[in-house]
Structure 1
Amino acid sequence: MTLTAYLGLLSLGSIIQTRHSAECQQEEQQELEDLRDMAQYISAAEIDTVATVSIPNAPSERKVEMRENITGVMLAISTMVANYSLCFPVVAARHRLQALPTRYSYYRDTPLFGAKMIIYTYKNGGIRRLYPGFGLGLIGQTLSASYESGLNHVIAFMMPPTSKASKPMSVMATLISKALAMAIHVPLYPLYRNALILRVQSDSDLTNIVIRNSQDFMRFYKRDLEAFWPSHPNNRHVLSALIPSCILNAMTEKLLIYIYRRIFQYFSFNDDSSTNASKKKKDATVLHTFYPEIACGVISSIITRALSYPIDTIIFKLMVQHSGVLKSDTTYHGFFDCVKRTWLEEGGWKAFYPGWGIGILEMGVGYLILEASWWAYCATQWKLTTLGSSDTRAVRKAKKLRERLSN
């Protein structure tokens, strides 16, 4: 075929050119459809991939509950340790003023005097002097709780159930269990008495230093323990302080539990009336319950101490008598004689509230600790909420990319 003939075939209207154009359009249309389908597949795959990446790695409800419980326990322990540690110097100063026989002390015992007294003690003895006998109270409470727990197990194992036992046997079992429960106060009384002596003693016009080391402490403890023997000369005096102390301890324990329950029920009732079941389940973790329990415990403890303050004063005066810590020893002839002479010799009913200003400082320290624990609770709750709801930077970018791809 010559060149002229070939060019003629390529001219406008040629059959070959028309057929070629139609075939090209069909191929291009097919390629466009294939590319469009491929783009849709790629877009769908990208959306699925990004959606998978952007799903927040939220922990399960069990893990969230466990994390909140652990955090709540840590906050509760920290609050209790802070309350005991920071209030101890104030409590020690208050016990010192309660135990010392001083005429018209209520005029002197203002909160400012209490603060100056604590500062003076720190300047003359350092931080160690602010914590005399630190931890002895906790040791006593631990021993008492362990003894009561073991005693309950022994009684439950040895005694028949109340429904199967006769009435006289049941009464006898109750009396025996009560008597055995009170027996723990015999070894605890010397411990508490020497702890009080450590708080009272100082080189001053009113007191001596009688316990200087652990050997002195054990010697005094042994001496006080021997005083429980009926033939001991100080047996009557020890019982005059021990029996009121046991009665007061039982009464304050019941009163503390009653006040705590009343306060806790009052606040819980307001919350229960306005919360649904899911909210209640969420707030059942230790993180959300520790602060109401701690707050109710501190408030009920303050109220109980205020009500038992006069009897505590009398018991403290009896406990330091004949200990050698007072330069001019007192001569009280029992609990009621101490009440009578305190009323007559130290200024009437106000004499039963020595150190009342330091008591106000104690309430102030407790309030500050509650405020600090509240802010710690809020910060912890915010942090846990942030960790549960927010994602990493890559996940946030993936979420934005998913939204753009979806649109």
Structure 2
Amino acid sequence: MTLSAYLGLLSLGSTIQTRYNAECQEEEQHELDALRAMAQHISAAEIDTVSAVSIHHAPSERRVEVRENITGVVLAIGTMIANYSLCFPIVAARHRLQALPTIHSYSRDTPLYGMHVIYRAYKHGGIRRLYPGFGLGLIGQTLSAAYESGLNQIMLTVIISANRSSSTLGTCATWLAKGLALLINIPLYPLYRNALILRVQQSNQRVISNAHDFMRLYKRDLRAFWPGNPRHGQLLNGFIPSCLLNLITEKMLIYIYRHIFQSFASNNNTSSNDNSGENTTTNNTAGSTSTTSLSSSNANKKKREATVLHTFYPEIACGVISSIITRVASYPLETVIYKLMVQDTGVLAVNTDYSSFFDCVKRTWQEEGGWKAFYPGWGTGVLEIGMGYFILEASWWAYRASQWKLQVPGTSDTRTVRKARKLRERLL
């Protein structure tokens, strides 16, 4: 073949050129198909890897809830024990100052003097002197709670059956239940009275030295409830006001607690609803899939926030605040009742002779300095409020530390898992 003929075969539009272009296109198509298949395999592998991180390495919601509930219960019990244990020496010192009649004690009973009283008690009697009758309060609360719980279960059935018969019978059953609920105060009053004696008595003038003395005085006070007993009238002077004060303070405490807790819950719901509304508006532009995932995530978030871990601190905070407000409001009445409770017990160097509750109020006003005389130990009360605030702050930091500890790698709220889930959504 001559050179000119060969160049002619290589020219544009010749058969050899057409055959070469077809073969190249076919090879390129095979390579493109292979690359597409490889990309699909890589994408599938990426999705499998991300799914393994975002799903399989994240514990179930049930496990998270169980862990948060256990942690919340531990924190709640620990906070209550710490509050009772750390505040008890301060409360004992305050009761001691409230029960002892003193002229113009308001200017003396500063927080510094309250600290001095606590230190002096520790110096003279050691740690045991700071906790006189520590277990009696716990015993009284346990007995009261067990009695009320059992009575409610029994009387609820009786009240329902009585209401089915007639409304009048149901009303009588309701009042009967309330009357039976007050009966627990009869065995509890001597218990609390002897506990107050343990806090007020001096080292050189002990009325209760051992368990035998305590039981002897407890039985004597129980017998004094009988109308024919010579101590009956004097005991009722303190018992009736004490029962009325307990009833009033309990209602006040529940009312304040509910009001504060409802305000807290409504503020929380308002803020969460605002955030949810903004997120929903943003996600509506992206499509219905985003809205569905947002609603499910919000439901899971609300479900997790309903665990004991996330609810114990608001309940503890509301309880402490309502308790402080109630204690401040009932402080003057407590002072009068404590003076009546220690009368004729032998703990006073000079015994008082108050004839009634109102006589004690009148003589305290006239003889001890007017309205200020009803607030003895107010500085110790300030120390008690400060200790309550310290415990509240400590419980908050314990809550934050527990929350952080539960969000270490392996939980469903970690940053790695959230990134993996977002990446999976993009890949899909």
TMscore range, shorter length: 0.7 to 0.9
Matched with 1:339 is 361
Matched with 1:4 is none
Matched with 2:225 is 228
Q: Shift of residue 173 of structure 1?
A: 1.8
Is the 2:163–2:169 Cα contact (8 Å) retained in structure 1?
Answer: no
Cα distance per residue 1:145-188 (max 9 Å; x no partner): 11112122222334454542334323322332222111111111
- Cα distance between partner residues in 1 of 2:89 and 2:184: 27
Cα distance per residue 1:20-57 (max 9 Å; x no partner): xxxxxxxxx9xxx9x99999999789768855764561
Matched, 1:253 2:250: yes
- Cα distance between partner residues in 2 of 1:37 and 1:173: 82
Is the 2:158–2:173 Cα contact (8 Å) retained in structure 1?
Answer: no
Give the number of equivalent residue pairs: 370
Matched, 1:124 2:121: no
- Cα distance between partner residues in 2 of 1:134 and 1:149: 24
- Cα distance between partner residues in 2 of 1:187 and 1:80: 25
1:160–1:288: structure 2 CA closer, same or farther, 3 Å change rule?
A: closer
Counterpart AA for 2:326: T
Matched with 2:238 is 241
- Cα distance between partner residues in 1 of 2:35 and 2:268: 59
Which SS does the other structure have where 1:68 is aligned? helix
Matched, 1:372 2:408: no
- Structure 1, 341-350 or 149-158: larger mean CA deviation: 149-158
> Residue 274 of structure 1 is aligned with which of 271, 294, 313?
271
Counterpart AA for 1:358: T
- Cα distance between partner residues in 2 of 1:352 and 1:172: 39
Matched with 1:26 is none
Matched with 2:71 is 71
- Cα distance between partner residues in 1 of 2:36 and 2:175: 90
- Cα distance between partner residues in 2 of 1:173 and 1:45: 71
Counterpart AA for 1:226: R
Q: Shift of residue 301 of structure 1?
A: 0.1
Matched, 1:304 2:299: no
- Cα distance between partner residues in 2 of 1:371 and 1:159: 44
- Cα distance between partner residues in 1 of 2:138 and 2:110: 29
Counterpart AA for 1:274: S
Which SS does the other structure have where 1:385 is aligned? coil
Aligned-residue identity in percent: 62
Counterpart AA for 1:114: G
Matched with 2:290 is none
Q: Shift of residue 79 of structure 1?
A: 0.7
Structure 1 runs (4+) deviating above 4 angstroms are 35-56, 389-392
Matched with 2:182 is 182
Is the 2:136–2:195 Cα contact (8 Å) retained in structure 1?
Answer: yes
Matched, 1:110 2:107: no
Q: Shift of residue 140 of structure 1?
A: 0.8
> Residue 346 of structure 2 is aligned with which of 319, 324, 338?
324
Q: Shift of residue 127 of structure 1?
A: 1.1
Matched with 1:215 is 212
Counterpart AA for 1:193: R
Q: Please give the residue correspondences for 1:81-100 in structure 2 after superposition, counting only pairs within 5 Å.
A: 81-100=81-100
Q: Shift of residue 135 of structure 1?
A: 2.0
Is the 2:106–2:373 Cα contact (8 Å) retained in structure 1?
Answer: yes
- Cα distance between partner residues in 2 of 1:152 and 1:42: 67
1:268–1:133: structure 2 CA closer, same or farther, 3 Å change rule?
A: same
1:358–1:45: structure 2 CA closer, same or farther, 3 Å change rule?
A: same
Counterpart AA for 1:357: G
- Cα distance between partner residues in 1 of 2:404 and 2:84: 27
1:64–1:126: structure 2 CA closer, same or farther, 3 Å change rule?
A: same
Unpaired runs of 5+ residues, structure 1, are: 1-28
Pairwise CA RMSD of aligned residues?
3.0
- Cα distance between partner residues in 2 of 1:238 and 1:156: 33
Counterpart AA for 2:262: Q
Which SS does the other structure have where 2:143 is aligned? helix
- Structure 1, 43-52 or 322-331: larger mean CA deviation: 43-52
> What TM-score comes out, normalization by structure 2 length?
0.79
- Cα distance between partner residues in 2 of 1:100 and 1:226: 26
- Cα distance between partner residues in 1 of 2:339 and 2:64: 52
